[in-house]
Structure 1
Amino acid sequence: MNKILTLIIPIYNTQEYLKKCLDSLIIQESLLPLLEILLVIDGSPDNAISIAKEYEANYPETFIVIDKENGGYGSVLKRGIQEAKGKYCKVLDSDDWYDNQAFERFVLELQAINHDVVVTDFVKEFVFENRSEKQTLPSLKNQQVYQLDTEINNLKGDVFVMHRLAYKTEVLRKAKINFPEKVFYTDTLFASIPLFFAKDLYYTNLQLYRYFIGRDGQTIAPESIRKNRKSVETVIKYYYQKFLENKNELSEQKKIYSLNALKTLVEMYYRILYHLPYKDSKKEMSEWNTFVKKTEEHKEFTTNKMVRYYNLLPYFIFRYTSVIWKE
């Protein structure tokens, strides 16, 4: 049976969450053969591979274990896209899970459509606080198709984040993303760069992905972001490089969207560096500002109030001027 969906699951040091993740993917028997679930063990030092192999043994048509040397999240995505046999490709982190019933309906829905991007809703699960937050897209209509070359800037909300997205595998391969290895936050590249090549988007309001918030060591925590800031810088620079390679082929609307997305990331990195200790902040902000000023789009990237103040004021004044936060 042809595979409708390849699900890439990066696995590293998450054995205590893995069974919950994989159990959430066991849907009705007639649909399981439509799935290819790649369990990519990224040199994980725990017992995750034994757990993964149990599922491979019990569901050999669906679960495939790939045991590889540690190369980081991006290396897993790269390997998964290379191996994928499904019409669509999606990523699920191994400490997260899917709503089981929504996943079953999602697989049924994929069989009836033929669009480059499929977008769903997701839920943030604050497990230790015993609460959830639904992440909906009220400006989009359920089961509606949108033409990205002309409508991408009309799609309001955080549409293009990994938790929502399934891409056609052929679109992902066309993007030729050479994911940086041993770098965090490469899910941003998975979410963003294939948009250069995708023509249309289908939205379904299924609350599919359950995103675990609050686990120790999560890379989204502010202190982790600051610690891993060079990964953020690498991702932004790679995204910008791919934009330059493809911008002449983009529609005007896609060009505007991509530049705005990059502008947001560039500004975010200034803010990350601002929160470092004084000496580190001064040095790294100077280096980052030099890079930004040399880009073709530097006028766009430096319109933010914080960046303008940085370029106007001596650093010791900029550092202690609270007005830059009043935006």
Structure 2
Amino acid sequence: MEKRLTLIVPIYNTEEYLPKCLDSLIIREDLMPLLEVLLIIDGSPDNAREIAQEYEKKYPQTFRVINKENGGYGSVLKRGIAEGKGKYCKVLDSDDWYDNHSFEKFVEQLKTIDTDVVVTDFVREYVFENRSELYSLPKVKPNKVYDLDKEISELEGAFVMHRLAYKTDVVRQAEIDFPEKIFYTDTLFASLPLFFAKDLYYIDSPLYRYLIGRDGQTVAPATIRKNRKGVETVIRYYYQRYTQHKSQMTEEKRKFILSSIKTFFQMYYKILVHLDFSSAKKELAEWHSFVKKTPEYRVFSDNQISEVLYNILPYFIFRYTSFIWRK
């Protein structure tokens, strides 16, 4: 039976959360053969491998454990994309989980869907605050096929890793050279296959449950600042691939993707201005020098940046950053 979905589950130091994650994937018996779950142990020093092997033993048609040396998140995605047999490919972090009922319906629907992209809703789970927050797409019509060359402007907010399933062939067509041993490479999985995708289908179901608040989580501001060079590497690679392929895009798709890149460029400015003054001065100058050399410099350097800097910087640093921005 053809696998309809490959789930790539990167596993590193998450043994506490892994059983909940994997239990959420146990669905109706007749649907399990349609599912492939690649449990990729990225040199994890805890007992995650033993936990994963229990699921592989119990559900050998669905779960497969891949044990590898530590290479970081990008190396796991690269391995999963290379080995996946499913028509669609999706990523589930091992400290997150799926709503089981929504997942069962999702796999059922994949039997008949044939678009390059399928997106769903997701929920942020603030488990230590005992609250949840649903992220839906209220302006996007469910159960409609969208032409990404002509209608992509209607899909703001759709291309987030937690929402996305791409056709595996489309992901492979993107030929993503994931940087190893850095964080935030999920951005590339979410963004680069879009260059080649032709159509999208939206299912308004709260599938992905995204844990917020775990110690050491890569989305924590302090962690982002500490690993900022990885962020820069990912942004530069995203922009480089855009410049290679923009001539093959429709004007509407090009504008949509450029707007996404602009958001990342501006985000990186915000990261840098929260450093100590000496580091901020040096790294802002280097980053600004790179941005200024891009053909899209005027797009990236509108008044929003100056406004952001003014609002978040001490005045004496704002004067400096405003000065280099004008140079």
Instruction: Give the RMSD, CA atoms, in angstroms.
Output: 1.8
Range with bigger deviation, 141-150 or 8-17: 141-150
Deviation by residue 1:56-112 (Cα, 9 ceiling, x = unmatched): 000000000000010100110010000010000000000000000100000000101
- Equivalent positions of 1:168-179 (< 5 A) are 168-179=167-178
Deviation, 1:296, is: 1.8
C-alpha distance in structure 1 between counterparts of 2:305 and 2:118, whole Å: 36
Amino acid of the structure 1 residue aligned with 2:295: E
| 1:116 to 1:309, Cα distance in 2 relative to 1, 3 A | closer
Counterpart of 2:116 in structure 1 is: 116
User: Contact 2:184/2:231 (CA < 8 Å) preserved in 1?
Assistant: yes
| 1:305 to 1:104, Cα distance in 2 relative to 1, 3 A | closer
Deviation, 1:319, is: 2.8
Matched, 1:107 2:107: yes
Counterpart of 2:148 in structure 1 is: 148
| Runs (4+) off by over 2 Å | 304-310, 315-324
Counterpart of 2:268 in structure 1 is: 269
Amino acid of the structure 2 residue aligned with 1:234: T
Deviation, 1:144, is: 1.3
Structure 2 regions of 5+ residues with no counterpart? none
Deviation, 1:297, is: 1.3
Counterpart of 1:43 in structure 2 is: 43
Deviation, 1:155, is: 1.6
| 1:309 to 1:108, Cα distance in 2 relative to 1, 3 A | closer
Counterpart of 1:89 in structure 2 is: 89
Matched, 1:127 2:105: no
User: Contact 2:140/2:154 (CA < 8 Å) preserved in 1?
Assistant: no
- Equivalent positions of 1:18-57 (< 5 A) are 18-57=18-57
C-alpha distance in structure 2 between counterparts of 1:318 and 1:263, whole Å: 23
Structure 1 regions of 5+ residues with no counterpart? none
Amino acid of the structure 2 residue aligned with 1:94: S
TM-score under structure 1 length normalisation: 0.94
User: Contact 1:270/1:307 (CA < 8 Å) preserved in 2?
Assistant: no
Counterpart of 2:287 in structure 1 is: 288
Counterpart of 1:302 in structure 2 is: 301
User: Contact 2:88/2:165 (CA < 8 Å) preserved in 1?
Assistant: yes
C-alpha distance in structure 2 between counterparts of 1:165 and 1:291, whole Å: 31
Deviation, 1:212, is: 0.3
Deviation, 1:309, is: 9.3
Amino acid of the structure 2 residue aligned with 1:286: A
Deviation, 1:300, is: 1.1
User: Contact 1:267/1:307 (CA < 8 Å) preserved in 2?
Assistant: no
Deviation by residue 1:208-241 (Cα, 9 ceiling, x = unmatched): 0000000001010111111111111001000001
| 1:285 to 1:64, Cα distance in 2 relative to 1, 3 A | same
Counterpart of 1:8 in structure 2 is: 8
Deviation, 1:294, is: 1.1
| 1:195 to 1:309, Cα distance in 2 relative to 1, 3 A | closer
Amino acid of the structure 2 residue aligned with 1:77: L
